[in-house]
Amino acid sequence: MARFGAVIHRVFLPLLLLLVVLGACHVTPAAAAGARLSALAKALVVEASPRAGQVLHAGEDAITVTWSLNATAAAAAAGADAGYKAVKVTLCYAPASQVGRGWRKAHDDLSKDKACQFKIAQQPYDGAGKFEYTVARDVPTASYYVRAYALDASGARVAYGETAPSASFAVAGITGVTASIEVAAGVLSAFSVAALAVFLVLENKKKNK
């Protein structure tokens, strides 16, 4: 029995370790590298309603976004969009708002891209689409542009389009100080001044007695 255990230890344990190592090292090509923006066809035309430089307020103002297949691109040849199943639209930090902020940096490897963090909408692909998006309350103050991705049946990004990053618009984020807080702060400040004045008057009277 001890000899049988030794055989298992010498033969099967190394084999098991080898299988574990091989399994860990085996990575399919799709998983080894994320999709690259430079490799995607720029097959969508994307437009957004804000003018270049316009300031929108988070939680209040809305953006109208339209997208369609780029009819002039080579990718728009008959049937080229047959694999497009959905369109995902995102709000992206403009280059000016990426400077000095590594957590906002754009990257050609989309698995590492941090510029397009805010999902606006996702719609079934039907050649064209239009919708209105109210800027979410958690969108911070910065300059933005809009990008749309065409997705295949697996959800992988296979094409894209975007508004011009150089014609970005701005969003004024919510600071967390609401009108009610400002009013309360003003009342407390006034009360503090009045209390201080009363205290000084009383102290002055005590001294004069």
- Per-residue pLDDT tens for 176-205? 544 444 455 455 566 566 666 666 767 676
Does 56 reside within a domain?
Answer: yes
Q: Determine the pLDDT at residue 175.
A: 79
Q: The tokens 């999902």 sit on which residue?
A: 119
Cα separation, 53 vs 166, whole angstroms? 10
Alpha carbon distances (Å) from 95 to 45, 56, 111, 143, 184:
20, 18, 18, 8, 39
Does 83 reside within a domain?
Answer: yes
Cα separation, 151 vs 74, whole angstroms? 18
Cα separation, 75 vs 106, whole angstroms? 24
Q: Could you tell me if 67 and 155 lie in one domain?
A: yes
Q: Which two tokens stand for residue 203?
A: 């102290």
Q: Which two tokens stand for residue 193?
A: 């001044």
Q: Could you tell me if 58 and 115 lie in one domain?
A: yes
- pLDDT level of residue 45 (50, 70, 90 thresholds): very high
Q: Could you tell me if 98 and 190 lie in one domain?
A: no
Q: Could you tell me if 154 and 61 lie in one domain?
A: yes
For the chain, the distance separating the N- and C-terminal CA atoms, rounded to the nearest angstrom, is 106
Summarize the confidence of residues 164-184 as an average pLDDT: 74
Which phi and psi angles does 135 have, rounded to 5°?
-55, 125
Summarize the confidence of residues 109-135 as an average pLDDT: 96
The count of structural domains within the chain is 2
Q: Determine the pLDDT at residue 198.
A: 67
Does 108 reside within a domain?
Answer: yes
Share of the chain above pLDDT 70, in %: 66
Q: Determine the pLDDT at residue 73.
A: 62
Q: Could you tell me if 199 and 158 lie in one domain?
A: no
Does 129 reside within a domain?
Answer: yes
Q: Is the pLDDT of residue 12 over 60?
A: no
Q: Could you tell me if 57 and 130 lie in one domain?
A: yes
pTM of the model: 0.68
State which residues form the domain around 46. Answer: 37-174
Summarize the confidence of residues 55-83 as an average pLDDT: 85
Q: Could you tell me if 106 and 186 lie in one domain?
A: no
Q: Determine the pLDDT at residue 44.
A: 95
Q: Determine the pLDDT at residue 179.
A: 45
Q: Could you tell me if 167 and 198 lie in one domain?
A: no
125-158 pLDDT, tens per residue?
A: 999 999 999 999 999 999 999 999 999 999 999 9
